[in-house]
Chain A
Amino acid sequence: MRRNGGLGFIYLTLLVALLLTVMPMPQQVKLFRPDWALLVVLYWTMALPGRVNILTAFLLGFLTDVLIGTVLGVNALAFSVVTFIVAVNHLKIRNFSVIQQALLIGLFLALYHLLLFWLSHFLTGVYFLPAYLWPVLTGMLVWPWLFWLLRRYRRQFKIQ
């Protein structure tokens, strides 16, 4: 078993997720943009918890902070916490059907946004708008397709 095989492929997907996070889009569409980076990290944590876990999530969260300009560390913390939950329960989550997984992912995304809001509220005093939770719904809808795509990708390149 190659221990280092495929790590580059994993990082490639993470890079694409970051690009999707900052890609310019019309204002109306932006509000619904799924949290690509978090979704991709969650997939890899679930599939290969030995390769991708909290350290990767922390680094990716930190990069997200830098890219979107939130207070440094806010996304890093939220990414780490959500990834921790998935890493601990990855065997259970793997056995669910894709629909059940999508619901669970929705729950995790809601937790992520709540954490993000709490921290930002504490640090910069933002106000809550229900519209902030749209990415939870779009993330849930995107999950089955993303799961299918990344699984094919993983099998294609035999990443383990």
Chain B
Amino acid sequence: MNAIFSRGPLLGLRLLLAVLCSVGLMLVDRYTERSTQLRSFLTSAVSPLFYVASLPETLLSGASEQFMSHQRLLDENARLKETLLRQNGQLQLLGYLQQENNKLRALLGSAPLTDGQRLVAEVLAVYSHPFSHQVVLNKGSNDGVTEYQPLIDERGVVGQVVSVGPTSSRALLISDNTHAISVRAERTGIRTVAEGLGQWDLLRVIHLPQSADIRVGDRLLTSGLDGLFPEGYPVAEVSRVQKDESQPFMIVYARPFAQLDRIRHVLLLWPGARAEDVLRPEELN
């Protein structure tokens, strides 16, 4: 017990050291470029923890699939087949339109839209600390994932990859309050920026002058101007417009299309990459 009593000043010294180390870490992480590599390394070091932590959920969902009745599986299969047929029909038309569009763009002398590779990734963990909206994905550098790669789901843009380990990677969601994405209003073509607020269902559209033409219900698409997200993917729908003449800019909020709080699978995009540049996953052939 005496050993503990004599630790009084020692504890203070330890606290001082801990505080200094933490402050150093914060500054390095926030204000230097090196931190991306450091984070990637750390992500790969702790990725087994994520696999273990998501084990109960994986087992439970596996069990529920196991005990699903035969009839329900048949129904689901029929429904999925029907959806696939309908979407394949639309895709045929899309292929034709894309070709036509590229020809027209070539006539105008502008660069054709590139359609890059895709890869389906599963979400291992959604971390919902209010100060960091991130997800951990089960694909890493072994699958060709790189930093700053965009992420979408079936409804819209989800976020971008921020650090990569060999078998897992970490992505920042568009709702994180350090994230901003360049968007364009579909109806009017106004370019603006949508930034996250740390809330799942809300983005703030910033720097719109009072005279800008924007309404509730306008769809915001990626503009492609940030050089990260390919052009034309849906991001959010304007949910509230508040005009206050005393403010320099309009106060506009939007609701993301992607259901960020319940994503299970996402699609990783390689915008502009040629097919031979990236590994081709077997399941997408």
Contact = CB atoms under 8 A, between A and B. Distances in A.
Interface of A: 18-19, 22-24, 27, 30-31, 49-50, 53-55, 57-58, 61-63, 65-74, 76-77, 80-81, 84, 87-88, 116-117, 119-120, 123-127, 129, 131-132
Contacts, number: 135
Given A24-B125, A67-B46, A73-B24, A54 B14 contact: yes
Contact of B177 (A54, A73, A119, A124): A124
Contact of B53 (A23, A53, A73, A76): A23
B8 A68 contact: no
Main secondary structure of the interface of B (DSSP, over half): helix
Given A24-B57, A77-B18, A72 B128 contact: no
Interface residues of B, number: 52
29 contacts: A23-B56, A24-B53, A24-B125, A30-B128, A49-B7, A54-B18, A57-B18, A58-B22, A66-B39, A66-B46, A68-B129, A71-B30, A72-B25, A72-B26, A72-B38, A73-B22, A73-B29, A74-B26, A76-B22, A77-B18, A77-B19, A77-B23, A77-B26, A84-B11, A84-B12, A84-B14, A123-B26, A126-B130, A126-B177
Given A69-B132, A120-B131, A129-B130, A74 B49 contact: no
Interface in B232-262: 261-262
Interface of B: 3-4, 7-8, 11-12, 14-15, 18-19, 21-26, 28-30, 35, 38-39, 42-43, 45-46, 49-50, 52-54, 56-57, 124-132, 134, 170, 177-178, 197-200, 261-262
A23 B126 CA distance: 9
